[in-house]
Amino acid sequence: MTQNKPKDAGKAGNGPATAPVVSNFIRQIIDADLAAGQYAGRTWAGKPGPAAVQLAGAADPARIRTRFPPEPNGYLHYGHAKSICLNFGLARDYGGACHLRFDDTNPEKEEQEYVDSIVDAVRWLGFGWEAFGDRNLYYASDYFDWMYAFAEGLIRGGHAYVDSQSAEEMRANRGTLTRPGVDSPYRNRTVEENLDLFRRMRDGAFPDGAHVLRARIDMASPNINMRDPAIYRIRHATHHNTGDKWCVYPMYTFAHPIEDALENITHSICTLEFEDQRPFYDWLLERLADAGLLARPLPQQIEFARLNLTYVVLSKRKLIQLVDEGHVAGWDDPRLPTLVGARRRGYTPEGFRLFAERIGVSKADSWIDYSVLEDCMREDLNERAERRVAVLDPLKLVITNYPEGRSETCLAPNHPQKPELGKREVPFGRELWIEREDFVEAPPKGYFRLFPGNSVRLRYGFVVKCTGCEKDAQGKVTAVLCEYFPDSKSGTAGADNYKVKGNIHWVSAAQALETEVRLYDRLFAHPFPGARREGDPEGLERNFLDDINPASLTTITAMLEPALALAEPESCFQFERHGYFVADRRDSRPGAPVFNRAVTLKDSWGKAAK
């Protein structure tokens, strides 16, 4: 348990905690840093900036600063939810601030549509970037002037040079894991020559690829990332924010540490693949702080294992392929592991936050089974979803001794564990819809539902005894016939006199709401889509598309209790005995909702896969 929960933590506007906080290696680092006063005495100007700006500010009210730095080149997926919950959750729990930063240093690629969807997704998950009076939403491209100035600063300090080798020469001279690199013939250019060339690069004197600016570190370093990495390149491209102002752009490995430092970030949390970049992260920020360009203490990079989840793909490239090739109906297709898809599916922000807490963070790569996510959604939906009745595979039930034209109401609880949510009236009449599977002519052993001669309770209604059925010419059952016991109504004195083993749900046919229901299942039928399987030839890459589950969507017409006509888009319900369903936020019309299945009541995947 963390001890670092100051009274004003809520002020950071980072949403409510969902579960007791369990410590992890990142929290231990933060605890130790705070205990040592590592980040005490920092000043903050209320906005990003270099040393000159920050040092003029007041004491930073945020005890820590984290950030979530998406590149606005796609929709966020479940993996991003882990990172969002982690970064915003830490800021919330430690009385800090978490910045939402659009990492848009790469020209051409970014689009406003993605920016908007990312803002929506972070808000939807329950987090905000307002803290201590600041609105910490930033664009890395707003820092280009500083980045450029810092690059000149490195040149002046002898820490960077313009290299004019071709891309192939540079690659060949980089060396390998076992062979050191070779110094570029341009490595010893004078400061004046480097400054002149770099400025002409900036001024558009050269075509793409003619020169690059490289850090001057060590071509023999065992860490290849330290062998004079490129930090600026020429790219004649229009940027969505800065237009044609620049034709040189910083490399990600140069830009990212600077973005963190300009924003006073204390703990820069990223995924494990950046571990080898950490020495350069530190090298760069140290040089810039030594030159007086950045304020100390500097941010530290901490790596954690990314989320790998079975039965989905979490790579932007593959998600784009699924959308572009029409395997799903768009970015918000409920089967896609995007956050817009999850939202339409009926997954909840609280469910994601619970999931993030439950899987925790670690340094070791691992796979999380999809059922863990489903369980979190079930747990949350069980709490919040009112109960309703829906017949998904309707078969008519006729109560032959119930007077024609008569109807009455039964009372059904809205939530069995929450009596305070009250009861609602459901109409009852002579003709009802029941599930086709709740009737058989010849019952197998242990079958307690309807069959000729057997009695069941119509949940919240009467006990009925089956007397037979009607069939069409093909022998398919078209109606089940029964007689009811007028003194058996649930909630009345006589109800207890009837002992029956079966209890089935129903909807009154006269008032039923006939509507479209989509039964979503896992998008992939295999836990590791595209992975080689036993028996596959060695070296064969299976196409992940071949692992798509052909039954990932079944669209049906169901019979629902009439109260559901009023369901607001995005409201969630448990359809008794079936699972959790949400009124689709896109296709529902007033009075005519369409429902999506979020998750079944129990984990039925093993059975369904057979």
The catalytic site residues sit at: 71, 306, 316
DSSP state of 550: T
Beta bridge partners of 79: none
342 makes contact, choosing from ligand ATP, Mg ion, none, with CB < 5 to 8 Å by partner type, with none
Evaluate whether 266 touches 65 at the Cβ level (below 8 Å): yes
Is residue 24 within 8 A of residue 304, CB to CB? The reply is no
Q: Which residue is nearest to Mg ion (CB)?
A: 71
If one asks whether residue 604 binds ligand ATP (CB under 6 A), the answer comes out as: no
User: Which one, 46 or 360, has the nearer CB to ligand ATP?
Assistant: 360
Instruction: Using the rule CB under 6 A, give the single segment among 66-74, 364-372, 456-464, 548-556 that binds ligand ATP.
Output: 66-74
70 binds ligand ATP (CB under 6 A): yes
One-letter identity of residue 442: A
H or E stretch at 456 = strand 455-458
Residues 434-493 that bind ligand ATP (CB under 6 A): none
- Whether 335 contacts 328, CB under 8 Å: yes
C-alpha neighbours within 13 Å on the C-beta side of residue 251: 18
Measuring CA to CA, how many Å separate 262 from each of 55, 168, 455? 12, 34, 73
Asked if residue 358 binds ligand ATP (CB under 6 A), the reply is no
Site string for Mg ion, 28-67 (x = CB under 5 A): ----------------------------------------
| CA–CA dist 494, 482 (Å, integer) | 19
In the bound state, the residue with its beta carbon closest to ligand ATP is 79
Q: Is residue 156 close enough to count as binding ligand ATP by CB under 6 A? A: no
Q: Does 353 bind ligand ATP (CB under 6 A)?
A: no
Cα–Cα distance measured from residue 451 to residue 480, given in angstroms and rounded to the nearest whole number: 9
259 phi-psi bin (left φ>0, alpha ψ -120 to 50, beta other): alpha
Q: With respect to ligand ATP, which residue has the nearer C-beta, 307 or 513? A: 307
* Residue 301 or 508 with smaller CB distance to ligand ATP: 301
Decide if residue 69 touches ligand ATP (CB under 6 A): yes
**Max Cα-Cα span within the chain:** 102
Q: How far apart are CA 300 and CA 261, in angstroms?
A: 9
Which of 15, 49, 50, 79 contacts ligand ATP by CB under 6 A? 79
As measured in angstroms, the least distance from the Cβ of 84 to ligand ATP is 8
CA 289 to chain centre: 36
Per-residue mark of binding to Mg ion, 68-107 (x: CB under 5 A): ---x------------------------------------
Residue 403 exposure: Cα atoms within 13 Å on the Cβ side: 5
Per CB under 6 A, 89 contacts ligand ATP = no
What HEC string does 202-224 produce?
A: HCCCCCCCCCEEEECCCCCCCCH
Question: Which residues fall within 8 angstroms of residue 221, CB to CB, at 6 or more apart?
Answer: 227
* Residue among 383, 373, 402 at smallest CA distance from 508: 402
Helices and strands, counts by H and E, the chain: 14, 29
Build a one-symbol-per-residue string for 301-330: x at contacts with ligand ATP by CB under 6 A, - elsewhere: -----xx------xxx--------------
Query: Of the two residues 302 and 456, which places its CB atom closer to Mg ion in the complex?
Result: 302
Q: Please, which residue, 105 or 515, has the CB nearer to ligand ATP? A: 105
**Helices assigned H by DSSP within 9-77:** 25-35, 51-54
Q: What share of the chain is helix, strand, coil (3-state, %, to 5)?
A: 30, 25, 45
Stretch that binds ligand ATP, among 75-83, 326-334, 360-368, 371-379 (CB under 6 A): 75-83
115 binds ligand ATP (CB under 6 A): no
Of 109 and 296, nearer to ligand ATP (C-beta) is 109
Question: What value, to the nearest 5°, has the Cα angle with vertex 281 and ends 84 and 302?
Answer: 40
Q: Taking the CA of residue 78 as centre, how many other CA atoms within 13 Å lie in the half-sphere pointing to its CB?
A: 29
- Asked if 529 interacts with ligand ATP (CB under 6 A), we say no
Within 13 Å of residue 593, how many CA atoms lie on the same side as its CB? 24
User: Toward ligand ATP, which CB reaches closer, 69 or 351?
Assistant: 69
Q: Give the contact letters, 268-287, x = binds to ligand ATP (CB under 6 A), - = no.
A: --xx----------------
Q: Tell me if 253 contacts ligand ATP by CB under 6 A.
A: no
Residue 49 beta carbon to ligand ATP: minimum distance, rounded to whole angstroms: 22
Minimum distance between the CB of residue 103 and ligand ATP, rounded to whole angstroms? 6
Which one of ligand ATP, Mg ion, none interacts with residue 502, CB within 5 to 8 A by kind? Answer: none
Considering CB distances under 5 to 8 angstroms, the limit depending on partner class, which of Mg ion, ligand ATP, none binds residue 354? none
Tell me if 83 contacts ligand ATP by CB under 6 A. yes
Residue 71 vs 183, nearer CB to Mg ion: 71
109 lines the binding site for ligand ATP (CB under 6 A) = no
Residue 82 touches which member of ligand ATP, Mg ion, none, C-beta under 5-8 Å by kind: ligand ATP
Shortest distance in whole angstroms from residue 22 CB to ligand ATP: 18
Contact 561, 513 (CB under 8 A): yes
Q: What kind and span of H or E run contains 90?
A: helix 78-94
- 596 touches, from ligand ATP, Mg ion, none (C-beta below 5 to 8 Å by class): none
Q: What residue 307 binds from ligand ATP, Mg ion, none (CB within 5 to 8 A, per partner kind)?
A: ligand ATP
Q: Is residue 71 at the binding interface for ligand ATP, with CB under 6 A as the rule?
A: yes
Identify the residue among 27, 65, 82, 578 touching ligand ATP (CB under 6 A). Answer: 82
Residue 558 binding target from Mg ion, ligand ATP, none, CB below 5 to 8 Å by type:
none
- What's the rounded Cα separation, in Å, for the pair 575 and 561? 10
Give the span between the Cα atoms of 371 and 358, in whole angstroms.
Answer: 12
Residue 548 gets which letter from DSSP? Answer: B
Q: Which of 164, 242, 225, 173 is nearest to 198 (CA)?
A: 164
Phi, psi of 372 (to 5 degrees): -65, -45
Rule CB under 6 A: say whether 80 interacts with ligand ATP. Answer: yes
Give the binding site for ligand ATP (CB under 6 A). 69-71, 79-80, 82-83, 270-271, 306-307, 314-316
Give the binding site for Mg ion (CB under 5 A). 71
